[in-house]
Amino acid sequence: MAEKTYFEQRNIDNTRKLREIRRDLPPLCNEFFVGIETRTSVLTRLSYAYDLRIFFNYLYTETTQFASCDAKTFDFNALCKVTTSDIELFMEYLSYYKFDGKDYVNTEKTKARKLASIKSFFKYFYNKDKIPADPASKVLTPKIHDKPIVRLDSDEVSQLLDEVESGANLPSRRQESFHEKTKVRDLAIITLFLGTGIRISELVGLDVSDIDFNINGFKVTRKGGNQTILYFSQEVADALIAYLDERSSDPALDNETALFLSLQKKRMSVRSVEKLVKKYAKLITPLKKITPHKLRSTYGTELYQETGDIYVVAEVLGHRDINTTKRHYAAISDDIKRSAAQKVTLRDKNKKND
């Protein structure tokens, strides 16, 4: 049997999680998940399941009307009694709540995502004529306030790459020792982020066989499972070649398909890559919270400034909605704002006093 790819195994793992969560939901939810299977990813359905679990737990524990219900007894008769007010109160509840002994605080953005799950759920059954009205359709989506878009400017990009390469500012001997073993790999990872705008899930899913130096490109699996080819510069190619050369010196790795490996010689996880980026970034720009997604934003901004073509940026970054690209990558960069600030003169120093 052929070895499963990272994304195939991830879908299997998420399917298992989805089945576990569905056991905590009313049986009527099964119809919903079966009905949306052909037009949603397993990751989307898992997200819906988590959100619905919180919603139904709220109904059982925080309302008087549904206090006598549980996952086994909540049926379509009960679902028909859910009102717009119930859902609006649920949105207020999401600001702070406890679940399984843990405290949760949700931002407006997170509330909006959870409401989208609830809306999809009720809309499905309303369209199927299983409920007489759609109470969720009348609930207003929370207003999401725009946050400043955080990116690295050009000199910070250079500083970050220099830091990854040298490890000059690492705060401990332990980290310095660790850096000697990983710096070539780490430089390849950071360079790939900054040079292609790849998502972190796409990066950790890369296999060695996905890279083709004949065209300086690689095969990437996008959200939803679609595959495409991305291209990279010679600077990125050099960093990848250096890493693969170093890696080839260890015969124990000959049968490892994953491109980026941990010191335990296993495919790196999303969490480990996030920690890697944070470790280096905070050394060169402690006031900016730099994540892999912020490196992606840095690339998107630079690509837009170089091409001036928002559609090219959207295609390269894999955005389905061009408005997402416009919102995040066509904003004025810090470089431009700083340059503009220098053009405003409050007093002419060359003017002689009368």
Q: How far apart are CA 2 and CA 20, in angstroms?
A: 27
Give the model's pLDDT for residue 345: 56
Confidence band, pLDDT 50/70/90 cuts, at residue 349 = low
Residue 114, C-beta contacts closer than 8 angstroms, at least 6 positions apart: 51, 54, 55, 94, 106
Per DSSP (E only), the strands in 120-243 are 211-212, 217-221, 227-231
Which of 49, 119, 68 lies closest to 90, judged by CA?
119
pLDDT at 330 over 70: no
The first and second tokens of residue 81, run together, are 């009694």
Domains and CATH numbers, the chain: 6-138 (1.10.150.130), 154-341 (1.10.443.10)
Q: Residue 109 in contact with residue 144, Cβ under 8 Å?
A: yes
**In Å, what is the CA distance from 75 to each residue of 58, 72, 81, 86, 146?**
16, 8, 10, 17, 40
Out of 45-54, 242-251, 273-282, 339-348, pick the least confident: 339-348
**In Å, what is the CA distance from 55 to each residue of 94, 138, 260, 327?**
9, 17, 39, 31
pLDDT at 249 over 70: yes
Per DSSP (E only), the strands in 106-251 are 211-212, 217-221, 227-231
Residue found by looking up tokens 């070895």 in the block:
3
Q: How far apart are CA 91 and CA 139, in angstroms?
A: 9
Average pLDDT value for residue range 284-300: 91
Out of 285-294, 295-304, 317-326, 342-351, pick the least confident: 342-351
The model's pTM is 0.80
**pLDDT tens digits along 141-174:** 998 877 777 889 989 999 999 999 999 999 999 9
Report phi then psi at 223, rounded to 5: -55, 140
Confidence band, pLDDT 50/70/90 cuts, at residue 28 = very high
Q: How far apart are CA 54 and CA 51, in angstroms?
A: 5
End-to-end CA distance of the chain: 90
**pLDDT tens digits along 124-147:** 999 999 999 999 999 999 988 777
Q: How far apart are CA 294 and CA 150, in angstroms?
A: 6
The first and second tokens of residue 139, run together, are 């609930």
Give the model's pLDDT for residue 144: 80
| Arithmetic mean of pLDDT over the chain | 90
